Amino acid sequence: MIPASSEVRVGSDGTERLEISARIGLAAAQALGMRGAHVVVSSRRQANVDKAVALLRTHNIQVTGTTCNVGKGEDREKLIQMTLDQCGGIDILVSNAAVNPFFGNILDSTEDVWDKILSVNVKSAFLLTKLVVPHMEKRGGGNIVFVSSVGAYQPMQVSVNVPLCYHICSEMLKKEFLQGLGPYCVSKTALLGLTRVLATELAQSNIRVNCVAPGVIKTRFSSALWENEAIMDNLRSSSASKEHSHPRFSKMIRAVVTGLDMLVTYSTVDGAPTQVMLRSIFRCLSPNLVAGQRRMSQSSLNGKVAIVTASTDGIGLATAQALGMRGAHVVVSSRCQANVDKAVALLRTHNIQVTGTTCNVGKGEDREKLIQMTLDQCGGIDILVSNAAVNPFFGNILDSTEDVWDKILSVNVKSAFLLTKLVVPHMEKRGGGNIVFVSSVGAYQPMQGLGPYCVSKTALLGLTRVLATELAQSNIRVNCVAPGLIKTRFSAILWENEAIMDKFKNQPSIKRIGQVEEIGGVVAFLCSEEASYITGETITASGGMGCRL
């Protein structure tokens, strides 16, 4: 079963038009069908389905086709039921459908853009998986492959020369600026986390879960890139392989799902040049060098204004204290006024300049109120620590509901971006700034029972990279910290469980759980001048737990 989706694509001429993103999907269907599989193809348009079915049948492939918009629950269920009725079962799912209704600077993307991209590219991929798993289990196992992108590792961004009219001697000048696929790349990073979580939970059902990350493949979906000569020249100069790939990339999908790689699970097959993989590896290794940095001055953040969300307890409060002890005026927030008052009183006992307010980061009006109050009280913004997160679910990921995914992706990912979008103009007025996202070691290594939460934390790694690239020219550094198991009320469900703790203590090099102050110190370092050459990185503070993305 290989779903694909039609969508709005922004062409190289800047116009929007409907396209079909089935080129890789069709090639994958052909590769599987040529090896004996009965393939079920889908698209939002019946005409495209009919054309694909007719083409595949010329190769004597057993094929069934139907319309399906994977963003709609009734369409997903119809696809599954039709497959069962026509074919008797399901063994393989290749989740290829994706949308990208946006091309440009990530800070110009809207909330609607993020809702659409996260819903189709991440949530729908999971919900379709949830539907097929029981039927794979009836067959004794199966294979699931998500189609991600090399943009999950390396944000796709290109330089574009755009004419700007200036009234200077009536001369037309040109300004070079960066445009890209930021929100799309973040969603593709999330798929890496989804792959790991599902692979862990489904191994006992003999279901393997893997992911492929294509580079620039010659499809209509990517024509905005490969039809642009400037982009292609840049690609050729930076890549080991001097040409874009055709959908023969589907051979990798075929290898993953046909038993040629029986020992492979929760891995990503990267179709891009090796240097991209090396770059991502160095990103994971380089944070380990931070341990040798000199201790910060206690006045290293004098005059800075720092917003820390979800900062009345746990890691957020420890971070606010660490920044405040180094001279920053900190703005703390929480959804409960009593918690805000308590945190403000505690911080003031340490002679920290502090302002507090209530804020539910999931609400647009609360985010705007937080920013405006900070400007009114403090005069500007230099630092944002995005720490707020929710986890309304604990259990097997396949038991999570659509409402759970809506809540987690909205608060943990989308709200983190939207808050960033609000603060950036004010940081630019101050000549730069620092943004730190609080992710989790679960972004690299799935934590049992916290599947959707871990996926959202993987998405933050992608958001960090995309924003770091786009904001570097504004002297704004963007980094991320991925704590391991830290003793907070939020993580009590883990560290209060003796069985989990016994297993956990056998994993890290440092055989204890972490303390909140150990994370606050890392965040303060990232916001200091001592870290002035660090951006786009994720520092893992996990007691020695390994990381790989």
Type of residue numbered 138: K
Looking at 287-414, list the stretches that DSSP marks H as alpha helix, in order from N- to C-terminal side.
Answer: 314-325, 337-348, 364-378, 402-409
- Count Cβ atoms below 10 Å from residue 240 Cβ, excluding itself: 9
Cα 364 to Cα 11, 182, 475, distances in angstroms: 31, 21, 26
Give the span between the Cα atoms of 455 and 177, in whole angstroms: 31
539 CB contacts (<8 Å, ≥6 apart)? 287, 290, 479, 480, 481, 482, 522, 526
- Count Cβ atoms below 10 Å from residue 253 Cβ, excluding itself: 28
Cα 540 to Cα 184, 364, 390, 502, distances in angstroms: 25, 30, 20, 21
SS3 for 33?
Answer: helix
Give the span between the Cα atoms of 254 and 549, in whole angstroms: 23
The three-point CA angle 337-342-346 to 5° equals: 150
Cα 138 to Cα 250, 375, 387, 390, distances in angstroms: 27, 59, 42, 34
Token output for 423: 């603060």
The closest alpha carbon to 323, from 350, 345, 357, 342, belongs to 350
Type of residue numbered 71: G
Type of residue numbered 327: G
Distance of CA 135 to the CA centre of its chain: 29
Known catalytic membership, residue 453: yes
Token output for 116: 């659409």
Give the span between the Cα atoms of 272 and 240, in whole angstroms: 9
Helix (H) or strand (E) holding 458: helix 451-471
Catalytic residue among 184, 266, 444, 453: 453
- In sign, the C-alpha dihedral spanning 290, 469, 21, 230 is negative
Pairing of strands 16-20, 6-10: antiparallel
Helix (H) or strand (E) holding 174: strand 172-180
- In sign, the C-alpha dihedral spanning 182, 186, 192, 195 is negative
- DSSP summary character for residue 295: P
Owner of token pair 């993953």: 256
The closest alpha carbon to 418, from 472, 480, 477, 463, belongs to 463
Asked if residue 9 lies in contact with residue 220, where contact means CB atoms within 8 angstroms, the answer is: yes
Owner of token pair 């990208």: 100
Partners of 42 in the β-ladder = 3, 66
Give the span between the Cα atoms of 109 and 230, in whole angstroms: 24
Q: What residues are labeled active site?
A: 453
